[in-house]
Chain A
Amino acid sequence: MWARIVEFMLAAWLSVSPFIFRYPDDRFFFWANDLVCSILIAFFSLICYYRPLRKMHLCNLLIAFWLIALGYIFRGDPLDVALQNYVTFGLLLLMVAIVPTDSEKPPMSWRDFYEKDEL
């Protein structure tokens, strides 16, 4: 479950990024993007604690790709610090989001395979 906790902490970082990097008030898109993405990342990481939805963390891969893409889409924008944050953050999220929930245990499929045999 450590990967989900790291994802949640990354979401917290993204949510305070506009204040850390002092986004101008008129850059509404960047403010909204950071807020929405951080809420989604936190949601997808926490929902994994509900066992039937334990693979929902993979949705964070899409958000990671989106953030990395923003770094290229807005290339040349004066708010370069935010874009570098997106790319760095996106690459990190990409690596964490791929780690399975309950990764310290064997996959559910193998656990079921052996448990079925014991019954």
Chain B
Amino acid sequence: MKKIALNAIPEPWEYNPSKWSQRLRISAVAAIAVFIAIYMGLYQWRLIGSVWDPIFGDQSMKVLDSDVSHKISSWVRIPDSILGALAYLGDIIFALAGSTRRWHDRPWLVILFGLDVIPLGFVSAILIFMQGFVVGSWCFLCLVTAVISLILIVLAYDEVWSSVLFLWRVWKRSRKFSVLWDTFWGKANPIAHEVGLEMAKRRDWRS
């Protein structure tokens, strides 16, 4: 039986979306957002007296002290900036976990990573871009983190797509929920092996 190489290139890409360089790049971008979010969280915790904003000045503090922000903080029990920092930290944690074949071996991890990056990223970006209309003020650093969220989506969607495609083909081949379930949780089975091999093989002979 032929093994699927650890650096196999899955469809539909010309590169391995689970390779380390790809995931370290995501981690580095997310780390910038973590630092910015913690900085704003320190203000909301009143550990620092003000927030730097080269464009909108005091408006940043109005956003961070707004009723919307206080309401979110009362729901989640911590400042909303710290919640954002944890979400970006989650991007780093889930980006660093797993082998370079995780699109095939641990689809659950890739899907979890995708859920943290894609829907959460979209929601946070939309909320931040709406702040000017809801709160009536703008926050430069919040906008920077919103742009980072969108960049992360662009950087991360390829791996998620490969995993979803892999699971879809396993389902199409087996038509058994138990096989799909096992594959999702990284339990080896011949059908997942066959499908993974086909997804990687087509790339092999093209290159």
Which A residues have a C-beta under 8 Å from some C-beta of B?
2-3, 71-72, 75, 83-84, 87-88, 91-92, 95-96, 98-100, 103-107, 109-110, 112-114, 117
Known: A84-B77, A105-B99, A117-B1. A110 touches B105 (CB 8 A): yes
Task: Establish whether residues A109 and B77, one from each chain, have CB atoms under 8 Å apart when the complex forms.
Answer: no
CA distance A96 to B186 in the complex (A): 18
Q: A92-B89, A106-B105 are in contact. List 20 more A-B contacts (CB 8 A).
A: A2-B96, A3-B97, A72-B77, A88-B82, A92-B86, A95-B93, A99-B93, A99-B94, A100-B106, A103-B97, A103-B99, A103-B106, A104-B99, A107-B186, A107-B187, A109-B186, A109-B187, A110-B105, A113-B193, A114-B3
Chain B, residue nearest A84 (CB): B78
Task: Establish whether residues A75 and B99, one from each chain, have CB atoms under 8 Å apart when the complex forms.
Answer: no
Residue of A104, A107, A117 with most partner-chain B CB within 10 A: A107
Task: Establish whether residues A87 and B77, one from each chain, have CB atoms under 8 Å apart when the complex forms.
Answer: yes
Pick from A72, A95, A104, A110: contact of B94, CB under 8 Å:
A95
Task: Establish whether residues B93 and A107, one from each chain, have CB atoms under 8 Å apart when the complex forms.
Answer: no
Q: Please give, as numbers and ranges, the residues of chain A lying within 8 Å of B186 by CB-CB distance.
A: 106-107, 109-110
Instruction: Tell me the residues in window 23-60 of chain B with beta carbons closer than 8 Å to chain A beta carbons.
Output: none
Which B residues have a C-beta under 8 Å from some C-beta of A?
1, 3, 6, 76-78, 82-83, 86, 89-90, 93-94, 96-99, 101, 105-106, 109, 112, 186-188, 193
Known: A88-B82, A92-B86. A83 touches B97 (CB 8 A): no
Task: Establish whether residues A95 and B188, one from each chain, have CB atoms under 8 Å apart when the complex forms.
Answer: no
Task: Establish whether residues B86 and A91, one from each chain, have CB atoms under 8 Å apart when the complex forms.
Answer: yes
CA distance A102 to B171 in the complex (A): 28
Shortest B166–chain A CB gap in Å is 13
CA distance A96 to B90 in the complex (A): 8
CA distance A87 to B82 in the complex (A): 11
Task: Establish whether residues B99 and A106, one from each chain, have CB atoms under 8 Å apart when the complex forms.
Answer: yes
CA distance A100 to B98 in the complex (A): 8
Consensus secondary structure, chain A interface: helix
Chain B, residue nearest A106 (CB): B105
Pick from B78, B83, B90, B106: contact of A95, CB under 8 Å:
B90
Task: Establish whether residues A104 and B98, one from each chain, have CB atoms under 8 Å apart when the complex forms.
Answer: yes
CA distance A84 to B122 in the complex (A): 26
Q: Please give, as numbers and ranges, the residues of chain A lying within 8 Å of B97 by CB-CB distance.
A: 3, 99-100, 103
Chain B, residue nearest A111 (CB): B188
Known: A92-B86, A92-B89, A110-B186. A98 touches B78 (CB 8 A): no
CA distance A117 to B193 in the complex (A): 12
